[in-house]
Homo-oligomer: A and B are copies of this chain.
């Protein structure tokens, strides 16, 4: 009702700002959890990928996370410097760098196992709502990516 009269260029009307500011709020919510692991949020995403399947190339990680080497290479070097992963050229294809968890990196998963429940609590949603929102957001994302790929 009132919405129909709203200026399409008002901040309140913006879907994009709702997503942008929610992403920042998520970062802020994760911060105290990730401090236990001593890593940042993007580094945590890389850990999720490696916990699911270890020994990946930089490109495979980037494909999962929609990031490219200019973001991942420095990030992975920081994880390596922290003793969390190892990076080694693939002897079968020297162009590739394989990324593998160290023992320390694998052990961090136990600490992280509490995070999903803690995050759910912070959102104040029930699990079903958050799962539905997750799916709807991914659908919007994938249509946008398809649209920008199409040009």
Query: Residues on A close to B: CB < 8 A?
Result: 3, 7-11, 13-26, 28-30, 32, 41, 45, 48-49, 51-52, 64-66, 109, 112-113, 115-117, 119, 121-125, 129-131, 133-138, 140-141, 143-145, 147-148
- How distant is A71 from chain B, measured CB to nearest CB, in Å? 10
Q: Is B9 touching A113 in the complex (CB atoms < 8 A)?
A: yes
Q: Give the copy number.
A: 2
Q: How far is the CA of A144 from the CA of B9 in the complex (A)?
A: 26
Q: Is B134 touching A14 in the complex (CB atoms < 8 A)?
A: yes
Q: How far is the CA of A134 from the CA of B136 in the complex (A)?
A: 11
Q: Is B144 touching A123 in the complex (CB atoms < 8 A)?
A: yes
Across the interface, name the chain B residue whose C-beta is closest to A149: B28
